[in-house]
Chain A
Amino acid sequence: MTIQDCTVFTMAAERDSDVDKSQQFRVAALPYLDDIYTLARYLLGNPADAEDAAQECYLRAFRHFGTFRGGPIKPWLLAILRNVCRAEYARRGALASTTTESLEAAENCVDSIWGNDRETPESHVLRRLDSETLKQLIAQLPHNFREALVLREVNELNYREIADVTGVPVGTVMSRLARARTLLRDAWIAIEKGATP
């Protein structure tokens, strides 16, 4: 076989819009896989569920790619992932009825933030924050606060985008973020106190 006298083909398929659609989707959406997977890890906790959710997210996104109206695609993908994760929560809720307890715990947490705030030594200088411990602390945040925090700090969305992704007003986003960070700071300080009596 010699390349010199090769046959030249032009596939009719290259003019077909279906080909373009799946390719356009790959090019537009796949660069955000790490973002999607990261949020899934924070929302679902374990790698296996996060992988399944990310894959489901991309399949749904591809099916609905025709309805995507342009603009930044990352928030659109994150919103789809969030829905996938909620379905997973519902499934877990059906398996074990721990949801109610954790919700109550979350509410109690919320109530206590502002009270604690007054006693917290604000001048306390946080020691070097290591990422593994931080990840664990974030994992313990109530769901809505964790979601807002990760969308903001890790996925780097702005308030408007977070509001759109989570379906709440911007004001709610702001207060959730404030509470998430306050809980996180208190948890961190509690660890430091435990470590250095």
Chain B
Amino acid sequence: MTCNEATVLLHALIDRELDARHAREVEAHTAGCARCAAALTVHRELSRAVQDNRMRYASPASLRNRINRAIPAPTARTTRRSLLKGFALGSIMSAAAATGVTVVIIGQDRDNRILSEAVSAHLRSLQAEHLTDVLSSDQHTVKPWFNGRIDLAPPVIDLTVQGFTLIGGRLDHIDGKPVAAIVYRRRVHIINLFVMQNLGGALAAARLETFQGFNFLRWNDQGLTLLAVSDLNRDELKEFGTKFEAAAQATRPAG
């Protein structure tokens, strides 16, 4: 092998792209050629330096949010169809007047978007090693952490004794607004409890929903909307909600 050939092939050697025969040839050449051997060393070193993590750029969170918003969430088309399915099944909405239906469609659309974004936020929290900004099982550490970071005071309640371990909190975004996410664990299942300003609209009762394979429990309390998302089964998610609510009421002054 000539120096000219080795000069190119040593890069393929560094990148582990050479078959065994060529690799042996390059190595044989560098064993006998000090200049090519030195080049191999220097290029190895340089390659490692460029592969360093500091050579990467972290994408800004705002970019991720922009993209998340721009990717269509489940849209009106879907909702409209599901609404029609509802009619076909003789749902209670079949009696609604035309004007009423419009309102329902818009409301449903936003509902779906919020659930879909909650799923995304939940998945993101599991994937990106960004489950918590504040990691603590102490509610008196987690709650104050939100001070000044978000314009609401989320109820942070330790439910370890009740079987749901508090593991921390973080800031997230749903429907374009910052929300507090309080993170619990039940066995291997993570529960993200999103706390946001009251979404408005009539949410007369707590709702237990299934969407994209995840279970949701949603309820309003003290002007806030609370939305728990998990792959935990419905019964246990409902149990979580019940325990949370009971504990929340117990911490409030009577009256």
Please give the residue numbers on chain A whose beta carbons come within 8 Å of chain B beta carbons, in ascending order.
1-14, 16, 18-20, 22-23, 25-27, 30-31, 33-34, 36-38, 41, 47, 50-51, 54-55, 58-59, 62, 117, 122-126, 129, 131, 134-135, 138, 149, 152-154, 156, 158-159, 174-175, 177-178, 181, 184-185, 188
Contact = CB atoms under 8 A, between A and B. Distances in A.
**B interface SS class:** helix
Contact of A158 (B17, B50, B204): B17
A30 B47 CA distance: 27
B82 A16 contact: yes
A173 to B, nearest CB: 9
Given A153-B55, A154-B50, A181-B47, A26 B71 contact: yes
A1 B221 contact: yes
B191 to A, nearest CB: 14
Contacts of A34: 56-59
A34 B47 CA distance: 20
A5 B217 CA distance: 12
B206 A10 contact: no
A11 B77 contact: no
Interface in B186-216: 203-213
Nearest to A124: B42
B210 A185 contact: no
Nearest to B206: A6
A131 B127 contact: no
A1 B220 contact: yes
B59 A174 contact: no
B71 A8 contact: no
Given A11-B82, A18-B77, A58-B67, A4 B219 contact: no
